[in-house]
Chain A
Amino acid sequence: MIELDNVAYSYSGDALLTDISLQLAPGTFHFLTGPSGAGKTTFLKLCYGALKPTGGSVHIFGDDVTEMDRDAVAYMRRRVGVVHQDCQFLDHLSVAENVALPLSVSGQATPDQAENLNELMGWVGLQGKFDSLPPELSGGERQRAALARALILSPDVILADEPTGNVDWEMSQRLLRLLIELNRMGKTVMIATHDLGLIRAAKAHVQARVLRITNRTLQTAGADL
């Protein structure tokens, strides 16, 4: 699905990440941890083509990201659901419209998607917020809306950057269960998080690999978790 080969990345000057090799196989479940500022968000951006590696190569669905044109990147994004750390919405559209946005920009908005949208909004606990505007949402609600938006196209890969950063334990368990459920359906999932409790909770239900960014590179975390 996503393949990183000896990837290095530097914003300017010093390398932030070096020597990263990873293959995200279909149906796998990964956690990504590391201290704040280690480069988790940067790593995820490399995985969905928002950043191009300054060294090595990244292949997404078999295509080299450095050779993708802007349209190819757009089509690739429809197959990768991303929950951003700072979720951004179209503030003049309702939450429901925002969640359905990937459908409309890809020309897939049909009335029979309504059921899908409804169910998804229920899963993330936003049934009551259909007509709210994004600026009226709390931080946690925004994250849940962003997760729903990432899932609406039923993507093959789900990359979530701190999807449970602002929600209570109860809700984070709920979101985790949703992601585990999707993983069981064959989706590839990668979650960047600081929350070791979340990782422990997940390990009870799913075969999850934990990756850690230390010393500017990616390591598989030991059994200490």
Chain B
Amino acid sequence: MRARLDQVIALLKGDQGADRIVPPSGFTVRLTLFTSAAMAFLTIFALALSLAAGRLGTSWGDELARASTIRISAPPEQMQEQVASVLRLLEQTPGVETARALSADEQRELLEPWFGPALPVEQLPVPQLIDVSETSDGYDADSLRLRLQAEAPGAVLDEHTRWRRPLVAAASRLRLLGWVSILLIGAATGAMVTLAAHAALAANAQVIAVLRLVGATDGYIAQAFVRRFTLRTLSGALAGTLAGMAALLLMPSAGDVEGLLTGLRFEGWQWLLPLVVPPLAALVAYIATSAAARRVLGGLA
């Protein structure tokens, strides 16, 4: 008898007791677990998408900033003049930040892999290269081409990376959308937990009434619900996060080819980021349930 009494008292004591005062409800438990797992899974993908888009945007952006090149092929006697007029023209072109003719040494360095270090660049009819770096707005390539044609017929504008400019903008937009999605998922999790907590509080109106009558404070009652929903959300989100990370690990790799689809993964320390998702989900659940409990309990007579 004594042992059983101790057992009863132990059950009623502390957190375990506070948890037990709310009757277990299998169905809503499973729904909350499932929803928070699904939300966490989606968050992982939105996170990976944001990070991948950010990475892509940065690396493409770096290449873009590295500029385009103008190649001038002209007979040696006209070379100086054409170079000068192209440089002058570039100086007046809006959207061009700097323009600089490469020196003979630099040109030799560029050609070295093919022709060896002893190449007498000065005596060969190699084209003169002009390095152009743009402002962030860029220049109007078509009009620049037209004017080059008029001023220096031997000049060719080589825009090897410009085609990526709209992609960089798209990547940065995609990254933004990824973060917005994460915020929305967080808000939806909060809304879901609020609904579930309201349902649980309403379903347990009699339990709450009895607890109030025997002297339970709102804080004590709320704690039972808050703990339950926080723990459920935490474990659901943990499962969803692990599933999401596993799914990313299993994404087929495309080697060095860089693209959004193949870049959908975490890199290095970024693998730690998803681990923040379950605690954050639990925090959202904690806040949502506390607010719901405060509202419902405060409204009781």
Chain A residues with CB under 8 Å of chain B are: 50, 70-71, 74-78, 82, 84, 88-94, 96-97, 100-106, 109-111, 113-114, 117-118, 130-131, 149, 153
Of B4-12, B158-166, B232-240, B262-270, the one with at least 4 CB within 8 A of chain A: B4-12
Of B13-21, B68-76, B97-105, the one with at least 4 CB within 8 A of chain A: B13-21
Do B5 and A117 touch (CB < 8 A)?
Answer: yes
* Given known contacts A92-B23, A104-B13, A84 and B213 CB-to-CB distance under 8 angstroms: yes
Q: Is the C-beta of B276 less than 8 angstroms from some C-beta in chain A? A: no
Q: Is the C-beta of B1 less than 8 angstroms from some C-beta in chain A? A: yes
* Given known contacts A89-B210, A90-B210, A92-B23, A111 and B217 CB-to-CB distance under 8 angstroms: no
A-B residue pairs in contact (CB < 8 Å), sample of 29: A70-B297, A70-B298, A74-B215, A74-B216, A82-B213, A88-B209, A88-B210, A88-B213, A89-B210, A90-B207, A90-B211, A91-B23, A93-B21, A97-B20, A101-B21, A101-B214, A103-B9, A103-B12, A104-B12, A105-B21, A105-B216, A109-B9, A111-B10, A114-B5, A114-B8, A117-B5, A117-B8, A130-B4, A130-B5
B259 surroundings in chain A (CB, below 8 A): none
Do B214 and A149 touch (CB < 8 A)?
Answer: yes
Q: Is the C-beta of B218 less than 8 angstroms from some C-beta in chain A? A: yes
Do B217 and A71 touch (CB < 8 A)?
Answer: yes
Chain B residues with CB under 8 Å of chain A are: 1-2, 4-6, 8-13, 17-18, 20-21, 23-24, 206-207, 209-220, 297-298, 301
B12 surroundings in chain A (CB, below 8 A): 97, 100-101, 103-104, 109
- Nearest opposing residue in chain B for A102, CB measure: B214
Do A114 and B2 touch (CB < 8 A)?
Answer: yes
- How far does the alpha carbon of A188 sit from the alpha carbon of B297 in the complex, in Å? 31
Do B210 and A104 touch (CB < 8 A)?
Answer: no
Among A75, A82, A111, the one with the most B-chain Cβ atoms within 10 Å of its Cβ is: A111
Do A97 and B8 touch (CB < 8 A)?
Answer: yes
Do B215 and A102 touch (CB < 8 A)?
Answer: yes
Other-chain contact of A75, B211, B213, B215 (Cβ < 8 Å): B215
* Given known contacts A70-B298, A88-B213, A111-B10, A105 and B220 CB-to-CB distance under 8 angstroms: yes
Do B206 and A88 touch (CB < 8 A)?
Answer: yes
- How far does the alpha carbon of A149 sit from the alpha carbon of B214 in the complex, in Å? 8
Among B20, B211, B213, the one with the most A-chain Cβ atoms within 10 Å of its Cβ is: B213
* Ranked 5 nearest A-B pairs via Cβ: A104-B12, A114-B5, A105-B216, A77-B215, A78-B215
